[in-house]
A and B are shown apart, each in its own frame.
Chain A
Amino acid sequence: MIRLGWLWPRGDGRLMVLYALLVIYSLALLWSVTEPLTGAYSEMRVDVPKSVFWRQLTWIIISWVAIGVVSRVPLRYLENVSWPAYLVVVLMLAAVLAVGPEVAGSRRWLAFGALRLQPSEFSKVALVVLLATWLGRRVEGGSRVGATMGSMVLALVPAILVLREPDLGTSLVFLAIWLGMIFWYGISGLLLLTALSSSVSAVIMFYSESILEQPWPWAVYLLALMAVLYLVRGGLLASGLVLGANIAAGLGIPLVWTRLQPYQQDRILTFFDPSRDEHGTAYQAIQSKVAIGSGGLFGTHYLQGTQKGLAFLPERHSDFVFSVAGEELGLLGAGAMLVLFLLLVMRAIRVAMEVRSPFASLLAIGVASYFTFHVVVNVSITTGLLPVTGLPLPLISYGGSSLLASSLMVGLLMNLSVHRYDD
């Protein structure tokens, strides 16, 4: 008798239900998106073929099996393979830059015949596992600052490689994962203040220089920061560190800006001033908002969206799939999806709080960070809260690598939920 029990993932049943609901939701949306468009489109290849749906279904089956496997792997074994896995994905990322086929000005894939893999997706999983291993072993004793700095280097390596592809959105994912895990590891208040205030400084400087073209908002911000530092009596060394970091971030941002690709600069400028470019990058954002807004409470009904059906909505099977949910299923449908994601994240946080081993706890919070960042940023882009940057909606957007990586994350979580009381 053949035993098929191993195909069923081991672990938290509720997590499995959430996962199943999300991938079924994804299939429903992709079916709608791949329905033939209304009217003739002979002058543009805008149709999304049905094969997209079938491919995604195939990837879901593969991912199911992968979850089944990952949910059973002993945690110690995961710790042991964390370094080799990390090194493999870093090599793959380097290979992408060297030999990856160029598509629309960027190299993001490795092609094996008909199979195209996006190593940046798997490197997110590898990073979560490695950071959990690295930080987990440094919870007791040793230099916390050294551990923090080391983990930052580990996150920066793939982030920089991915930024070179170039893929700004994905490279930010590595930083978000690192931030979430380092917070969990226990970062000092001073470092947190330094990091957060530096980011604010960078954004204000950018806004002053590139949008207003006047330096005074940044100057006002610096004065206010100095006043706060004086009032809290943070000590000369700490105050100097915070102020120095802020000035460095402020002065550094123009340097970063000039290093950005023109299309990235365009998207950011357009975000601050959409009238700049009604038909370029702002077009996607506007059409996405139109799709969601016109959906209303209950949507235009499944398969009936005109923004989708008449091809006004770009990237409707990948990065902007959320807009299709908004248009056809309304606030109810799109809101339900957000609630599913929120429950998934809450589940991950709960696991992180319950498991005993630091490695498992950090792993769970890495997964939570991953989903939170992806969902929040992707949905913010589709609803016009953030500038357009390519970032898929995990488990929902079309794309095998992204689905498999997200599924592996869920698989890890399932695994941890079983080992709650292991040390």
Chain B
Amino acid sequence: MEFREAQVVRGRLFRLLALLLFGILLTNLLVLTVAQHDYYRNRALKNRQVQFRVPAPRGRITDRDGVPLADNTFNSDITVSASQFADGQPDSALSWLLRWFDLPPEETLADLEAQVARHGGRGRAVLVRGADMRQLTTVEERRSRLPGVRVESRWRRRYLHGSLLTHVIGYTGEVGPDDLRDAAPGMDYRVGDYIGKQGVEEAFEEQLRGGTGIKLEEVNATGRIVGRESVWIRAVRPGRDVALTLSLPLQMAMDSLMAGRRGCGVALAVPSGEVLAAVSLPSFDANIMTGAISTDQWRELSEDPAKPFFNRLVQATYPPGSLYKAVTSLAGLARGVVDTGSVLEPCPGGYQFGNRWFRCWKAAGHGVLDHAGALANSCDVFYYQLGLRLELADLAEAAAVFGLGQRLTGIYPGEAAGNVPTDDWYNRRMGVGGWTRGVLLNNAIGQGEILVTPLQMVFLSARLAADGRVPGPTFVQGQQPAVPTVNLPYRPSHMAWIRSALRQVVDAGTGGAARLAGVAVAGKTGTAQNPHGDDHAWFMCYAPAEAPEVAVAVILENAGHGGSEAAPVAGAWLREYFDWRHGIRPGIGGDS
């Protein structure tokens, strides 16, 4: 076949091939643009539309007068991806930042690893928290050379008074695995969100947190927002403020009066039950918990023998010591085993029961005392005898009326109930027959197995002051009290008597250090024996004695006598209180 003739055949074949190939292309194009159009249009949409969660600013926490105690700052953090420091080796961008920001490499890397360890070694870690302008511009200007490094802005909690209110307010921290698991439906927590931990922050989380918003943003191929089609799927609902019943000046007064000591000072408004001041020392700065607390800082705090994490207000339990004598007296009066004017065997400085000598705190003895004198001078021998005339059930019944042995707040999950022992309790604890009526002697003076929290003692004081018409303590305005008011099952004459006896304690007894000029104070001192060291100093009181409006309880750990250590703190705080409430500053230790 000649070349020219073959050309025609081959030309047809070539045309056929070209038509076939272009036909395939066109068919494929048809499939993509028509049959699969919806799929690819969605892919294109998903490419450029990204949902962003916009966290709400957390509600502020204020004192009773609206003074802010906790608010928020809008911070920019410099964050890096976990892949940038895999196996403890920083990549070039991270190494550069470490040098540029002059960060110690070893510690910083350990900190970064600790941050992502909570999330299985993935995600992002904060390199610089709350970066300053210089650091932010450094990163922004070098974006192209710092792949993986991001600036992320978010609300961060700020506690305006550091450690002053930590045990009342609690703090916020990043949600942990437990929080994510246990979260109430609808709260929508994600890794990296903040959640209230402890105290009011935890109890009022739902109100404070508000609602996270969801926004649809158009992003470009590098993931940056281009800001063309921003659509709110769900609006941000800012958290609502929470007003405490606390007064900042009163809190500060209590804190400075107890400065350097360990213990707890708490005051209630009577009869509302609102907590006016609540100090637990030592404390710690709540602000450190909102950041990533360093391991060293954490260890230092958690290994501190003074236990700064321990909320003594509601978590610590101590024997009430002589504060409890007020309860014992009322139990005795109610059972009719003593009268208001009863005089028992004189006090020689101790009391023989069986083969054991129970000492009075005053080794020289009190001699002959009537019931009121015994309370005022806190004579143990009188109460040993009174205790022996009672049953444990009588004491427990009286204790229950004042809220002992139960949780009072309803908002502190770690709150202790304390312990009011009964026959059953001793039977369970020591076995039937494993104990004697000797325990009554100890219980009558508030020692031994009976345990109370400082909050329970201020509540006892408030209920003594107001005939029981004080509801459970509240920390937040509008909070429903966890314990209702009661009518005390005691005769008015008995209540009048005990109130005058408590006034006697301050006017002429062991509580003289809490005496104020111009304002009558009624109270009771206590010295709780402590098997592990020096005695704890207790004092509870209310004022003015004739028309009570405030109750106070103070405990100073290992400080010794309540009268000499705790009572002056309560007295000095009451001065501040009357200045704050009525604009008068009663003198200390004046005549009543």
Contacts and interface: CB of A to CB of B under 8 A. Distances in A.
B29 A40 contact: no
A99 to B, nearest CB: 30
B48 A312 contact: yes
Given A44-B144, A290-B44, A380-B25, A39 B227 contact: yes
Nearest to A310: B220
Nearest to B10: A184
A127 interface: no
A342 interface: yes
B431 interface: no
A96 B222 CA distance: 34
A243 interface: no
A294 interface: yes
A45 B147 CA distance: 13
B4 interface: yes
B430 interface: no
A230 interface: no
Interface stretch (B33-41, B158-166, B235-243, B541-549): B33-41
**Most chain B beta-carbon neighbours within 10 Å: one of A296, A311, A356:** A296
A394 B143 CA distance: 36
7 contacts: A43-B222, A44-B222, A180-B14, A293-B32, A293-B41, A310-B226, A312-B44
A342 B4 CA distance: 24
Contacts of A334: 29, 33
A311 B29 contact: no
Contact of A372 (B6, B18, B41, B228): B18
Given A183-B10, A349-B14, A349-B15, A292 B29 contact: yes
A287 B44 CA distance: 8
Given A353-B8, A383-B29, A294 B222 contact: no
A310 B50 CA distance: 13
A42 B144 contact: yes
A287 to B, nearest CB: 8
A228 interface: no
Nearest to A286: B43
Given A334-B29, A338-B29, A383-B25, A41 B43 contact: no
B7 A353 contact: yes
Contacts of A46: 221-222
A37 B15 CA distance: 42
B30 interface: yes
B22 interface: yes
Contacts of A310: 47-48, 218-221, 226
A32 to B, nearest CB: 16
Interface string A16-59: 00000000000000000000011111111110000000000000
A341 B140 CA distance: 47
Contacts of B41: 293-294, 296
B103 interface: no
A267 interface: no
Contacts of B25: 338, 375-376, 379-380, 383
A133 interface: no
B342 to A, nearest CB: 87
Interface string B38-69: 01110110011000000000000000000000
Contacts of B39: 293
Interface string A292-324: 111111000000001100111000000000000
A288 B41 CA distance: 12
Contacts of B34: 296-297, 331
Interface in B217-251: 218-222, 224-228
Contacts of B8: 353
B44 A307 contact: yes
A290 B47 contact: yes
Contacts of A295: 33
Given A326-B29, A376-B22, A42 B143 contact: yes
B3 to A, nearest CB: 5
A186 B11 CA distance: 12
Contact of A349 (B11, B43, B219, B222): B11
Nearest to B14: A349
B22 A338 contact: yes
Interface of A: 37-46, 139-140, 180, 183-184, 186, 287, 289-297, 306-307, 310-312, 326, 330-331, 334-335, 338, 341-342, 345-346, 349-350, 352-353, 356, 358, 361, 365, 368, 372, 375-376, 379-380, 383, 385
A372 B224 contact: no
A342 B17 CA distance: 11
A306 B47 contact: yes
Nearest to A287: B47
B28 interface: yes
B26 interface: yes
Nearest to B40: A293
Contacts of B183: none
A396 B218 CA distance: 30
A389 to B, nearest CB: 17
Nearest to B226: A39
List the 5 closest A-B pairs by CB distance, nearest first: A293-B40, A39-B226, A353-B11, A294-B44, A43-B143
B496 interface: no
A40 B18 CA distance: 44
B517 interface: no
A342 B20 CA distance: 11
Nearest to A373: B21
Contacts of B144: 42-45
B33 A326 contact: yes
Contact of B220 (A140, A311, A341): A311
Interface string B120-156: 0000000000000000000010011001000000000
Contacts of A287: 47
A186 B18 contact: no
A420 to B, nearest CB: 13
A320 to B, nearest CB: 13
Contacts of B21: 372, 376
A305 to B, nearest CB: 9
Contact of A293 (B33, B225, B227): B33
A326 B226 CA distance: 23
Contacts of A41: 220, 222, 224
B36 A293 contact: yes
Given A46-B222, A335-B26, A383-B28, A297 B7 contact: no
**Most chain A beta-carbon neighbours within 10 Å: one of B8, B22, B39:** B22
B18 A368 contact: yes
Contacts of B18: 342, 345-346, 349, 368, 372
A312 B30 CA distance: 22
Interface in B177-201: none
Nearest to B147: A43
A140 B18 CA distance: 28
Nearest to B221: A311
B29 A39 contact: no
A45 B144 CA distance: 8
A142 to B, nearest CB: 13
Contact of B40 (A39, A289, A297): A289
Contacts of A380: 25, 28
Contacts of B29: 292, 326, 331, 334-335, 338, 379, 383
Contacts of A307: 44, 47
B33 A292 contact: yes
Contacts of B22: 338, 341-342, 345, 375-376
A46 B11 CA distance: 45
B33 A352 contact: no
A338 B30 CA distance: 12
A155 B534 CA distance: 102
A326 B40 CA distance: 12
A410 B42 CA distance: 41
A30 B77 CA distance: 40
Given A140-B3, A186-B3, A326-B32, 5 more contacts: A46-B221, A297-B33, A331-B33, A338-B22, A361-B3
A311 B13 CA distance: 42
